[in-house]
Amino acid sequence: MDENVNLTDEEILRFFNEGDKERALKLFINQYQARLYSLTYRMLGNHDDAMDALQEIFIQINRSLQTFKGRSSLYTWVYRLSSNICFNFRKKRSKTNRQMEWDEGLQSAMLPIERPNEDPDTMCETKYNQFLVQQAILKLPETQRVLLILHDLEGLSVPDAASILNINTNAAKSRIHRARAALRNIISKGFVVKGMEGVGVFTSEDVSKMI
């Protein structure tokens, strides 16, 4: 079987349950790698931490997939596990006071943007604005930040996002609403990006194209 062919979650689980764990993991990585990198980057804010978290996620998936009972969809289970790993990475990073450098953050930590018809200047500006929005999101309280990322950026439904955080749907809706308001407030007041203190305060005009 071509491992680059997209399979359903059920088909991947079938390979795992039939004992072909190596193929199941390869298929899982092919299916989820891009989505999980997007999640880890948005939650952690830089490429190196995102890749470290992604590696840990795949290790844990390989160890824990046998515990999946099918009570939720596989992707909800995967996102819950991935979110918890990202929480732990943020705690470790706060203890070591690790900061993302400006050149790393803007030049190498950007999510890929595939727009072949876009001119280089416009693409550069888009990446710059994307970087600033990412930094503003990282200033939100943890639960608000995660819900905003899961629902607004990763496209999960409110019930799925709520399930990942083990809260009810109404609470999730309320916190998403507060997260959006808080993000608008952060941007409207302006903010400083770590590693770029000398550049000054970024304002709503700097990120208006992305909101």
pLDDT in tens, 191-209: 666 655 443 444 445 444 4
Interval 161-177: pLDDT, tens: 999 999 999 999 999 99
Q: Are residues 142 and 176 in the same domain?
A: yes
Token couple for 146: 């995660």
Q: Are residues 93 and 167 in the same domain?
A: no
Q: What distance in Å separates the CA atoms of residue 50 and residue 98, rounded to the nearest whole number?
A: 14
Q: Are residues 135 and 63 in the same domain?
A: no
Q: Is residue 12 situated within a structural domain?
A: yes
In this structure, are residues 187 and 112 in contact, taking their beta carbons and an 8 Å threshold?
Answer: no
Interval 55-113: pLDDT, tens: 999 999 988 887 887 778 888 899 999 999 998 888 877 655 544 443 444 444 344 44
Helix 169-189 to helix 120-137 angle (10° resolution) is 120
Q: Is residue 109 situated within a structural domain?
A: no
Interval 134-165: pLDDT, tens: 888 888 998 999 999 999 989 999 999 999 99
Dihedral, 51, 53, 57, 59 alpha carbons, nearest 10: 80
pLDDT band at residue 15 under the 50/70/90 scheme: confident
- Residue type for position 52: D
CATH number of the structural domain spanning residue 71:
1.10.1740.10
Give how many domains the chain has, as a whole number.
Answer: 2
- Residue type for position 47: H
CATH number of the structural domain spanning residue 145:
1.10.10.10
Q: Which domain range does residue 50 map to? A: 1-99
pLDDT band at residue 126 under the 50/70/90 scheme: low
In this structure, are residues 76 and 58 in contact, taking their beta carbons and an 8 Å threshold?
Answer: no
